[in-house]
Structure 1
Amino acid sequence: MKYFISSIFLLFSSFYVSLTAQQIKEDNQSLFDNVGYRQGNVYRTASGKPGPEYWQNSADYNLEATLDDKTHTVSGKVSIHYTNNSPETLDFIWIYLEQNRFTENSRGTLTTPVQGNRYSGDVEGGFELTNVSAKTKTGTSSKYIITDTRMQLWLDKPLAAKGGEVDIHMNFKFKVPVEGMDRMGRLEVKGGTIYAIAQWYPRVAVFDDVVGWNTDPYLGAGEFYCEFGNYDVKITAPANHTVVCSGVLQNPNEVLTKQQQQRWAQAEKSDKTVYIIKPEEVGKPASHTKPNGTVTWHYKMENTRDVAWAASSAFIWDAAKMNLGEGKTGMAQSVYPIESDGQNAWSRSTEYTKASIEFYSKNYFTYPYHNAINVAASVGGMEYPGVSFCSYQSKSADLWGVTDHEFGHNWFPMIVGSNERRYPWMDEGFNMFINYQSTKAFNNGEYYVNEEAPRRLLPYLTFDQRQGINTYPDIAESRNLAYTAYYKPAAGLLLLREYILGAERFDNAFKSYIHTWAYKHPQPNDFFNHMENVAGEDLSWFWKGWFYGNGNIDLGISEVKAIQGDYLITVENNGQFPMPVQLQVTYVDNTTENISLPVEIWQRGDSWSHLLKTTKQVQRVVLDPNKMLPDVNVLNDTWNKL
């Protein structure tokens, strides 16, 4: 009997398939399947949290550097205390030598287009290294190999897992480039040279549970991926220079005059900007503690991934108190030359810095550092923990925008430590999103311009040479990078918040992501998993379509048909990925009704009919009435009764 039933079933199935083979239509389930490998493990859970055995290594730095303003060189020494918290032994340590990018034969130079781009740089620099050593409990090694912007430093014996420690030492020297790829460099102004110093010391590469050693070369567009640790920094500069650095100044009595110390104390209590060095005092001997020679400035910073600094004899210096919440305060500061002075320009820089830091502290995660210093330099805009370099020529809305953006980076990737070199959208795009919120709030919207933010992408989305968000930054064409790393991912978060999840669900998930991954190293899947688990929504279709696809949204209304007093509204998806549908129905009496259809309507196909039960006559139906979607064809978004 069992055999008979099985045979009949197979016969019927074959007969049915033969009759219907030409009528079978594939559904759209593939659009909704998971993107990537998102299964959890002991290191990273499926809920998007660090797992019970999550680990990351750490590196503490002692740095001493001397600035020679005659030869424009920085020389010094670094001591790195590196701890291997991983579950495996390490035979060697990879170290980044990012100043080697500024050489004629560096990979970055050789992969820069002949016509140049933002990341063109000087080619007469590079590190000079001496006295390289790595000391463990078992012995000392000085064996190393330098390849472009990386050094492989071998150990005398493998470094123990789960707590092995090594002390790395070396001396370094480099010439400060004029053109530092718009990330660092030097600028000549009336009062002297402004030195913006970054990527200035040998630092360890990240060893993680995803790829092991992260040794992607420093080419240009790809930024940084760093371990967290504590920094002790001493910078010796000419006595007539003001030196600002990431962290907290340890010896104000030695480097600030009595009057400057008094002004500093005043600024720590003032919500209004207070001068530390006034414009008319720049270049005057009375503005410095010594008439000549050198002065050493000592800074410390804890639990940070990097430090940067600036020095000049041309700096005006002002500051104000930051109210960080939780009873914490800090200091917003600005240093800038006389060329940048003015109420329409850098005289408002500290106001902007203060407002930016305070907004993100209140709404996302309390700013963990005491100081936030904005430096006017030749750099268009570049971020480091507690320090930003912004163009000395910026004014008004442009100065607010670049200041707010660079300090927003303290949250992405300075606190949430993602890999910028591979996934710039996880810092640039997320930062652009929070910039949108802060600009809306600043000074009653002084610089806020909505312009239907996601729809502003339409020229790019219809550009036939566009690239996707997942394009590596060093591969993305220069004209595309702003969209792949900045604008499109930011617009994606706006769509999630304003159109798909709603503000409350999105904000809960996004804030939870920040707090969960603060001072850790999230990967894209960690973000996807965490957002879904906190918001309670499978968003695979959105990650796949927006972040890992290059297709477009094209929803439309194909028909509105009266049926026995009700209406059948048919919508269609002519694009490459699905979206929920929002409709606004206007009746002949000018009343309106909103209809929301879930994204699952597109799982079965590209057309869906919704029955609108009503006793009124429909005059007009509009898809996406709030104009949030970057729909590439708006001509089919409205139906009007003839």
Structure 2
Amino acid sequence: MSKSFSDAIKRGTRTTKGIPGTQYWQNTASYTINAEVIPQKKELIGTEIIKYQNNSPDTLHQIVFHVFQNLYKKGSRRDDPVHPDDIHSGVLIKRLTIGDELITDYSTEGTLILAKPTQPIFPSALINIELSWSFSIPTKSNIRMGAKDETSFFLGQWYPKIAVYDDINGWDKNVHTGGQEFYYDLGDYEYTITVPDGYLVWGSGLLQNAEKVLSPNIYNKYKLAQKSDDIISIVHPDDYKSEKHITSHNKWVFKANNVSDVAFGVSDHFLWDGTSLKGVSGNTIFIETAYPIESKDFTEVALLAKKSVRYFSNEIPYPFPFPTMTIFNGTNGASGMEYPMIANDPSADNRGRTVDVTAHEIAHNYFPFYVLTNETEHAWMDEAFAAMIPYEYQQKQEPSLNRLTRYARNMSSYASTNTNIASTTKSTMLKGRTSYFNFYMKPAVGLYVLQDILGKELFKKCLATYIETWKGKHPTPLDFFYNVNATSQQNLNWFWKKWFFENGYPDLGITQVEERNNVYEITVKKIGDLPVPLDVTITFKDQTTQNIHHSAKVWQEKDNMILTVKTMKGIEKIQLGNDYIPDTNPRDNILFTIK
């Protein structure tokens, strides 16, 4: 247990039961933003008013802001190079006021602004903050946001945002260098996006003035899609040919309350599909996609998104927590990027990848946008969940790609190398392939191993309980571990230690087979430190088979397991392992022609 977590327990904000303490608190903010996207100049300019509530017991002597577009500022530290054309002078802060004070002597550290008002912000105080700013939109670098083409843009990390001040670390002063993702508090948002005539806008939250911004024909199809079980083509290629005006106003207003962030996309030629889904709690979820006509795979994405939302609601099981979900085809890169209620997804040349990325990015609406994990420092707490929980759905929809079996296979290669680092290592300390292995692959397979230990129904109960307990809050890894221990009524510390706090490798091997009076004793040894399921398939000489399966729990207190098989048929083959179980040395996993 870290000192910061131990201190939080003493202060009453955390517990060892996996639930928030009686003194738990979070700061909140409401944002009113007006922004204009200028496609010809590849520029965004904006103003915002923030009402910041200090719910902490501390007096704040500074306010820390994230200005993430400083990633592209000349001289900024970056994990990966960006295209030279995208390097600029940084986010231009034209005005910053805190309370009634004009702040001019703030300091900038990479993507952070640190402002010290003359008057501190006392506990329970509500402070008014105003900013105006502008920045150049990246056009060549596909780091989560930027230009898709000359007139289509996806805007994420687009406004100055107050950093999290929490009970574990105080101010989040992690400088964004491109590799890690984000950490946000809850807030209420009303944002207005001004675009040139003829441009459409899709964004986080609910569009407030659809009747005003859309032409009558498009508006009627939009309203139909919001209550239709079918996929409705709201904007079809013919609409651009037959109508002089797709839109009738250029200021688009969105609201999103009690969310951690907002993002949006704009285009003057994207197609628009929409449908609705009746939620398990009786609510209606509006699902939409926006994409260029060249992205042929996106004609199915609205349906895939709908199926994904239904699956998560029924199988986690936890109702999808937001009223809308948009998939925007705004990147030319290989990876998607998630935001509350909207994802910036690539097009793919195979259906497996389309199914995979659609479900994965939608899963992020649970983690980290409903359960507000710190992606910057604990990336596995959202990426591993978003990789593991859709795997059965993905396999059913498109068997050609199964993210979890791919992770297990890759883990068999990487786990015995220096790439294998404890998954609880802070994300800010890891880069490149090491990050991918330890934030996605290993912990996702670890969650599958946990499901195998608990059984699917208890695992689902643990997952739903964790979501319900920590929705809208900031759990740390220990909070998750303690919560599962409490819900399952099991002390799983032996499992957490091996899978998340250590860098052991998975390796089981068949070390001996003895036969006596048609009774076979098969000895399997846990050679590696990492406990994995024991799965043995026996093929008899008449070609019938028998499977023996034990969860990783068999290795809790021993390193050898003897399996007993009684048969008159004779054994032809013993196969250890399956596609979901990593093993760094498969050479000792199979035996043939046993007398």
TM-score (norm 2): 0.89
- The residue aligned with 1:219 is 177
Map 1:47-66; keep pairs closer than 5 Å. Answer: 47-66=17-36
1:543-566 CA distance string (max 9 Å, x none): 232223332122233334467997
Map 1:304-315; keep pairs closer than 5 Å. Answer: 304-315=259-270
- The residue aligned with 2:53 is 83
Structure 2 CA distance for partners of 1:627 and 1:107, relative to 1, 3 Å: closer
1:510-533 CA distance string (max 9 Å, x none): 221122111111111111111222
Q: 1:259 aligns with which of 217, 233, 243?
A: 217
- Cα separation, 2, equivalents of 1:393 and 1:223: 23
1:93-146 CA distance string (max 9 Å, x none): 1110111111111122xx53xxx48x998212521112211117xx77655222
Task: Give the drift of 1:308.
Answer: 0.5
- Cα separation, 2, equivalents of 1:600 and 1:591: 23
- Cα separation, 1, equivalents of 2:289 and 2:300: 9
- Cα separation, 1, equivalents of 2:237 and 2:426: 44
Structure 2 stretches of 5 or more lacking a match?
A: none
Secondary structure (helix, strand or coil) at the match of 2:168 reads coil
The answer to whether the 8 Å contact 1:102/1:126 transfers is yes
2:120 pairs with 1:166: no
- Cα separation, 1, equivalents of 2:466 and 2:229: 31
- Cα separation, 1, equivalents of 2:581 and 2:193: 51
- The residue aligned with 1:419 is 374
- Cα separation, 1, equivalents of 2:477 and 2:341: 25
The answer to whether the 8 Å contact 1:454/1:629 transfers is no
Task: Give the drift of 1:434.
Answer: 1.7
- Report the residue type matching 1:154 in the other structure: K
Task: Give the drift of 1:539.
Answer: 2.5
Map 1:543-554; keep pairs closer than 5 Å. Answer: 543-554=496-507
The answer to whether the 8 Å contact 1:376/1:392 transfers is yes
Q: Which moved more, 1:195-204 or 1:478-487?
A: 478-487
Structure 2 CA distance for partners of 1:434 and 1:283, relative to 1, 3 Å: farther
Secondary structure (helix, strand or coil) at the match of 2:181 reads coil
Structure 1 stretches of 5 or more lacking a match?
A: 1-33
Q: 1:391 aligns with which of 337, 346, 360?
A: 346
Number of paired residues?
586
- Cα separation, 1, equivalents of 2:85 and 2:479: 35
- Report the residue type matching 1:146 in the other structure: T
Task: Give the drift of 1:455.
Answer: 3.7
- Cα separation, 2, equivalents of 1:92 and 1:450: 43
Q: 1:467 aligns with which of 420, 438, 456?
A: 420
2:428 pairs with 1:428: no
Task: Give the drift of 1:298.
Answer: 0.6
- The residue aligned with 2:358 is 403
2:62 pairs with 1:92: yes
- Cα separation, 2, equivalents of 1:353 and 1:615: 49
- Cα separation, 1, equivalents of 2:459 and 2:205: 33
Task: Give the drift of 1:393.
Answer: 5.6
- The residue aligned with 2:16 is 46
Map 1:110-509; keep pairs closer than 5 Å. Answer: 111-112=79-80, 116=81, 122-135=86-99, 143-161=105-123, 163-188=124-149, 193-282=151-240, 286-290=244-248, 295-340=250-295, 342=296, 345-364=297-316, 365-380=318-333, 381-392=336-347, 396-442=351-397, 445=398, 449=402, 452=405, 455-461=408-414, 464-468=417-421, 469-473=423-427, 475-498=429-452, 500-509=453-462
Structure 2 CA distance for partners of 1:546 and 1:176, relative to 1, 3 Å: same
Task: Give the drift of 1:72.
Answer: 1.5
- The residue aligned with 1:26 is none
2:594 pairs with 1:630: no
- Cα separation, 2, equivalents of 1:441 and 1:173: 46
**Between the two proteins, what is the percent identity of the paired residues?**
30
Secondary structure (helix, strand or coil) at the match of 2:300 reads helix
- Report the residue type matching 1:64 in the other structure: N
Q: Which moved more, 1:209-218 or 1:501-510?
A: 501-510
Q: Which moved more, 1:263-272 or 1:568-577?
A: 568-577
1:220-258 CA distance string (max 9 Å, x none): 110100010110001111011111111111111210111
Q: Which moved more, 1:393-402 or 1:319-328?
A: 393-402
Structure 2 CA distance for partners of 1:201 and 1:593, relative to 1, 3 Å: closer
Secondary structure (helix, strand or coil) at the match of 1:199 reads coil
- Cα separation, 1, equivalents of 2:153 and 2:565: 69
Larger Rg: 1
Secondary structure (helix, strand or coil) at the match of 1:89 reads coil
Task: Give the drift of 1:354.
Answer: 1.4
Secondary structure (helix, strand or coil) at the match of 2:120 reads strand
- Cα separation, 2, equivalents of 1:37 and 1:504: 34
